[in-house]
Amino acid sequence: MSAVTTLLTDDQLAVVETTLDFAQEHLAPHAVAWDQDKHFPVDVLRKAAGLGLGGVYVREDVGGSELSRSDGVLVFEALATGCPSIAGYLSIHNMVGWMIDRYGTGAQRGRYLPALCAMEQLGSYCLTEPGAGSDAAALSTRAVRDGDHYVLTGTKQFISGAGASHLYIVLARTGEAGPRGISAFLVERDDSGLSFGADERKMGWNAQPTRQVLMDGVRIPAGRMLGEEGGGFRIAMNGLNGGRLGIAACSLGGAQSALDRSVSHLADREAFGARLLDAQALRFRLADMATELAAARALVRQAAEALDRNVAGAPQLCAMAKHFATDTGYSVADRALQLHGGYGYLAEYGIEKIVRDLRVHQILEGTNEIMRVVVARSLTGGLR
């Protein structure tokens, strides 16, 4: 894991070592069983909160750790070495916490963030719809003002943590078509009219539930709008900048685990009278995998620093990092499976689980095709 800790400060090294220890003690030994049993280990999430991982970016006055994005990508990479599915959910939960901390009122911060940071309550992010995936600005869920309340109606699709989570940031249309007509709301699990679809049967990410969020006239106080009316799309996109870095970092961690396991496997196996690790062709494959991960890690950390400094090109760098790191992570994990031969295809070795988990990272938080759109727009936006 030396590549993960390159050029870190003493404080960052301490964060990485603590998180790696947690991942190896509490996540890695159970990851395959959780995947097979489709078990969401809420008790383990609360143990993670004891290390400050329930409110990574949230300010300290409400129980958060108040870490930077540069620190956060280290946290999520380290967590994903134990289980990318659990690390991915924690990234989403922390995106919810950051959005409330950044855009919420004092009352909203005080009401929700202490419980989210302690993971006594879990959070989910509800943007995607059955008919509005990549075209997020075309969402059709509506929020209609009725006196001192809003009434929400619509369906959200592919929501991580749905049903188990207590709090949902829901993006809904309050005005005109397009992004300017979208607002953000805080919906609670016990709100009347809120229900959930069946748990989706998925290729990976089985250690967390994924369900539809169904709103049939959910009536909530107007004070549960997050930010200003019509400002929801900007809030959602700013949240996704950090969310994309979290998922990119999870891809690095999962792939690093697959690479480390491959080195050990090749050292233990013999063929034709010699260790597989001594075969130059296989050593070159390992070298390529390590080099590609190092390049992806550098881009993720560059994007995180840009987001911390709020530089103008930060959203484009986040899109580049998400695209490159998730493509690279999946590719490295797939090659690690191949290096394990038939053993890589067996569930008990954990490699095929990493491959399945990392595949969805190329889709969620904005597909990698949309990441290319974001980057291309930044390059050509001034040209007519």
In the predicted structure, residue 383 carries a pLDDT above the cut 90: no
Taking the C-alpha atoms of 35, 39, 43 and 45 in order, what is their torsion angle to the nearest 10 degrees? 50
Please report which confidence band the pLDDT of residue 302 belongs to, taking 50, 70 and 90 as the band edges: very high
Active-site position among 60, 229, 365, 369: 365
pLDDT tens digits for range 190-237: 999 999 999 999 999 999 999 999 999 999 999 999 999 999 999 999
pLDDT (0 to 100) of residue 291: 98
Cβ atoms within 10 Å of 340's Cβ, excluding its own? 21
| Average of per-residue pLDDT across 38-54 | 97
Supply the DSSP string of 247-268, one letter for each residue.
HHHHHHHHHHHHHHHHHHHHHH
pLDDT tens digits for range 111-159: 999 999 999 999 999 999 998 887 888 899 999 999 999 999 999 999 9
| Average of per-residue pLDDT across 22-37 | 98
What is the DSSP secondary structure assignment for residue 358, as one 8-state letter?
H
Please report which confidence band the pLDDT of residue 366 belongs to, taking 50, 70 and 90 as the band edges: very high
pLDDT (0 to 100) of residue 271: 87
| Average of per-residue pLDDT across 10-19 | 95
Residue of 330, 329, 319 whose CA lies nearest to 366? 319
pLDDT (0 to 100) of residue 382: 59
Mean pLDDT of the chain: 96
pLDDT tens digits for range 71-102: 999 999 999 999 999 999 999 999 999 999 99
pLDDT (0 to 100) of residue 32: 98
pLDDT tens digits for range 244-301: 999 999 999 999 999 999 999 999 998 888 999 999 999 999 999 999 999 999 999 9
Percent of the chain whose predicted confidence (pLDDT) is above 90: 93
What is the Cα gyration radius of the chain?
Answer: 21
Strands 167-173 and 123-126: parallel
- 292 belongs to the catalytic site: no
pLDDT (0 to 100) of residue 384: 54
pLDDT (0 to 100) of residue 3: 62
pLDDT tens digits for range 305-322: 999 999 999 999 999 999
E strand residue ranges, the chain:
123-126, 142-146, 149-160, 167-173, 182-188, 194-196, 210-221, 225-226, 270-271, 274-275
pLDDT (0 to 100) of residue 217: 97
In the predicted structure, residue 106 carries a pLDDT above the cut 90: yes
Greatest CA separation for the chain: 80
pLDDT (0 to 100) of residue 208: 97
| Average of per-residue pLDDT across 40-46 | 98
